Amino acid sequence: MWQNISMQIYFAPMEGITGYIFRNAYDEIYGNIAKYYAPFISPSENCPITPRERKDITPEHNAGINLVPQILTCRSDCFIEAARELQAMGYKEVNLNLGCPSGTVCAKGKGAGFLPQTNELSKFLDDICSYADKEGVKISVKTRLGYYNPDEFYDLVEIFNRFPISELIVHPRIRSDFYKGEPRREFFAYALTHAKCPLVYNGNIYSVEDYRDLTDALGCKLDTVMIGRGLLADPSLADKLNNVTDATDFAKFRKLHDTLYYEYQKVMSPDINVLYRMKELWSYWKNLFPGQERDIKRLLKTKKYAEYEAVVYHGLMP
Ligand SMILES: Cc1cc2nc3c(=O)[nH]c(=O)nc-3n(C[C@H](O)[C@H](O)[C@H](O)COP(=O)(O)O)c2cc1C
């Protein structure tokens, strides 16, 4: 048994899910998160941050939350413009997205699509790190192993080592893996012995056992991990990893559900839009309700609040 695991957990950015409403609800009810990473903002030449993106990251909507904004771009001028605005909002760390596997993003040479352009990437990092150094901002990076092949990672580590990256978050998959299959842990092990900056592991931690297997495989304890889907599927996972005694308290889950359902209704309409959000969450939460697959199926078909509430409050959580 692992005891007294005391670790820093970062909540992974998940576009469309971990926006400010989710972060506030989760932090108030569960907490135990050292940093939340905001879903990416994608600056363009004329518009560093759109009003919609600004709404998500404005400090007003993130009081008491240790938030790190993330930027997705392959142009250093656009990155710097957006980072300046984030700095003006009070942010001291900005994260660079080098992992997004989406076809439209990669086709523009951004996210994981930036990884094969190693010369351009070096120049980009040089530009943004010079800016960050002058301004006293930290730049962290969230990366995959490569675009085509995990062996690209060896060169990438060498490139990252040339810059003062505050933290390197490694999701040990390549672009074509998307979020499927086993993470390629051996490449994270390579980073542990070769990367100069602090490292954060990300990928497929769904339970305390997964964390234990990972550290056994790597042969060392990891002080900091980033978790996304595992925290959605089991919101008490951070509590469990930190040995909180009431970790499995179902009242907390119910409160998370009710808070999100209520808060989304305040900013969205009609019913179908709120229910779309809730159903996306239920696609992760369904594993918390074994044997209730029929109710979950019914829930996923609901179109009106009354139908949804009948399934949730009379079926799943009476
Ligand atoms: C729906 C969805 C949205 C995501 N959005 C982002 C994002 O905005 N920025 C980012 O760096 N990663 C994003 N990711 C990747 C996650 O941050 C994380 O790296 C990935 O889910 C693997 O970690 P996990 O196995 O702990 O979930 C997204 C993943 C999913 C499934």
> 8-241 has which CATH code?
3.20.20.70
Please indicate whether residue 114, judged by its CB atom, sits closer than 6 Å to ligand 1. Answer: no
Given a contact cutoff of 8 angstroms between Cβ atoms, the answer to whether 284 and 277 are in contact is no
Q: Would you kindly state where each structural domain of the chain is located, as residue ranges?
A: 8-241, 268-316
The span from the CA of 31 to the CA of 65, in Å, is 9
Look up residue 240 and give its two tokens: 């469990």
Q: Locate tokens 């959000």: which residue?
A: 277
Please indicate whether residue 203, judged by its CB atom, sits closer than 6 Å to ligand 1. Answer: yes
The span from the CA of 248 to the CA of 204, in Å, is 20
How far, in Å, are 129, 161, 222 from residue 137 at the CA level?
A: 9, 18, 25
Q: pLDDT (tens digit, 9 = 90+) per residue, 255-288?
A: 999 999 999 999 999 999 999 999 999 999 999 9
The beta strand positions in the chain, using DSSP E, are: 8-11, 35-37, 67-68, 70-71, 93-98, 138-143, 168-170, 199-202, 224-227
Q: pLDDT (tens digit, 9 = 90+) per residue, 236-261?
A: 999 999 987 776 789 999 999 999 99
| Interval 138-165 mean pLDDT | 98
Which numbered atom of ligand 1 lies nearest the CA of 203?
A: 25
Number of residues assigned to the chain: 318
Q: How far is the CA of 230 from the centre of ligand 1 (A)?
A: 11
Q: How far is the CA of 179 from the centre of ligand 1 (A)?
A: 8
Number of DSSP helices (H) and strands (E) in the chain, helices first? 14, 9
The pair phi, psi for residue 86, each rounded to 5°, is -65, -40
Beta bridge partners of 93: 138
CA 306 to chain centre: 32
Ramachandran area for residue 65 (φ above 0: left; ψ -120 to 50: alpha; else beta): beta
Torsional sign, CA 256, 9, 39, 276:
negative
Q: How far is the CA of 261 from the centre of ligand 1 (A)?
A: 22
**DSSP character for 205?**
-
Please indicate whether residue 40, judged by its CB atom, sits closer than 6 Å to ligand 1. Answer: yes
**Whole-prediction pTM value?**
0.97
pLDDT of 245? 74
Which numbered atom of ligand 1 lies nearest the CA of 169?
A: 19
What's the CA angle centered on 64, arms 61 and 66, to 5 degrees? 95
User: Looking at ligand 1, which residue's alpha carbon is closest to its atom 8?
Assistant: 39
Given a contact cutoff of 8 angstroms between Cβ atoms, the answer to whether 25 and 258 are in contact is no
Q: pLDDT (tens digit, 9 = 90+) per residue, 41-98?
A: 999 999 999 999 999 999 999 999 999 999 999 999 999 999 999 999 999 999 999 9
